[in-house]
Amino acid sequence: MEKIKKKIVFHVITRIGTGGTEKILKQVVMNINDYEHIIVSLSSIDEISLEQFRSSNLKSFSLSHSDQPNLLFIPLRLFRLLKLYKPYIVHTWLTHSNFLAGILSSLLKHPRIIWSIRSMPITLQETSLLAYFLSKINILLSHFIPTYIIYCGYIIKDHHLKSGYSKRKIDVIENGCDEKLYYPDIQIRNITRSELGITESTFLIGTIGRYDPHKDYITLLKAVSLLNTTIDWKLLMIGLGLDLSNKELNYHIEQLGISPNVILLGKKQQINKYLNSMDVFVSSSIKEGFPNTLIEAMFTATPIISTDAGESSNILCRETFIAPPKDYIVLSKSISKLIKMDTQETMEYKNYLRNRAFDQFSNFKMLSNYHSFYKRVTSLGN
């Protein structure tokens, strides 16, 4: 019997590394097996991702070895791939890809073009002139090119609609997290704290993310510097650039007089073990999309305090532990309040977070939503 050929879903993304969008893309292409997935990065693909694609028998293409896509030379390569594979669905991820792959797919008359929008609208002050220009052009193109637009959150969707994006054929698919990778484990907690030199009596505050102005770590540092001096606390900072080589970060730590209390680990793998070691996970961002670290912390039942950035308040749905961005005084008071909570209150909050994670942000739910979405798009006529 002749094998039925799978319909091709052609994914185009700006770059592939360890970011949140890439995590979701990988989950989709490695787990939804009804389709043949082809992945194209306008720029680079990191070695870990390449190996993951190879082991899953997925075709992937890097159109440039630079981290910034060159819009003068890449279009021709992308055009050839689109023409060669004749995909049934073209699924583009992020601003540059939505623009470039959207236009080329439209020129080739592909009938099913999906845009994924995964961040809040950007301003000129926080991005490059090119990215800002493309984001504005995409507002206009959204009314003509995409068959559907997928947003990763309801707050993100609302902000884009207010900025002028098309209101037709839109969908929201929230991110999911693999519960097999993120789970509470007291043994892992004890071992990790021992490795870090943290006693059980020490209240460990943690944060995870790359060093970026949007993460606003200065507000977090100011907040912990205000904690009562009788509290035995440490701050664990994990992420690219959060290390001793970061002179700017270390200057602020020293100026606040909290150097003995801050542990800078830099970029790490096995995030589950560090989340388990924390007594509270704090996000101090002034701007976010859909922060995956929040739902990862929820699955490990780690108490969370977050600023009201991006989808954070919608993810937590617990106003008590949401602070205004840039307000280090309120953030400090929230941390102090959580430290003072008794065991029963803390356990209730931990259980609430983990139950909400399973209800709303499981990997199964996200993949089921993407699978249903692809089936709906596939049913569209030519």
pLDDT of residue 83: 95
DSSP 239-276: STT-STT-HHHHHHHHHTT-GGGEEEEES-S-HHHHHH
Higher local confidence (pLDDT), 298 or 131: 298
pLDDT level of residue 67 (50, 70, 90 thresholds): low
Helix (H) or strand (E) holding 314: helix 312-316
DSSP 57-75: T-EEEES-SSSS--TTTHH
Q: What is the mean pLDDT of the chain?
A: 93
Q: 32: which strand partners?
A: none
Which CATH code for domain 8-176+363-378? 3.40.50.2000
Question: Can you give the pTM of this predicted structure?
Answer: 0.90
Q: Token digits for 185?
A: 């484990």
Q: Are strands 262-266 and 233-238 parallel, antiparallel or unpaired?
A: parallel
Residue 280 CB neighbours (<10 A): 22
DSSP 3-state assignment of 19?
coil
pLDDT level of residue 127 (50, 70, 90 thresholds): confident
Tell me the helix, strand and coil percentages in the chain, rounded to 5. Answer: 45, 15, 35
For the chain, strand residue ranges (E) read 8-13, 36-41, 59-62, 89-93, 113-117, 148-151, 170-172, 203-208, 233-238, 262-266, 280-283, 304-307, 322-323
Structural fold of domain 186-360:
Rossmann fold (3.40.50)
Does 69 score more than 60 pLDDT? no
Q: Quick: pLDDT tens for 226-256.
A: 998 889 999 999 999 999 999 999 999 999 9
Q: Tell me which residue of 104, 97, 100, 57 sits closest to 79, measured CA to CA.
A: 104
Q: Tell me which residue of 315, 254, 326 sits closest to 284, measured CA to CA.
A: 326
pLDDT of residue 97: 95
Sorted by where each begins, the domain ranges of the chain are 8-176+363-378, 186-360
pLDDT of residue 1: 46
Inter-residue long-range contacts of 135-138, CB under 8 Å, 24+ positions, other chains counted: 135/95, 137/99, 138/95, 138/98, 138/99, 138/102, 138/165
Q: Looking up tokens 């909570």, which residue turns up?
A: 341
Residue 169 CB neighbours (<10 A): 12
Residue 16 CB neighbours (<10 A): 27
Type of residue numbered 28: V
Higher local confidence (pLDDT), 379 or 209: 209
Does 105 score more than 80 pLDDT? yes
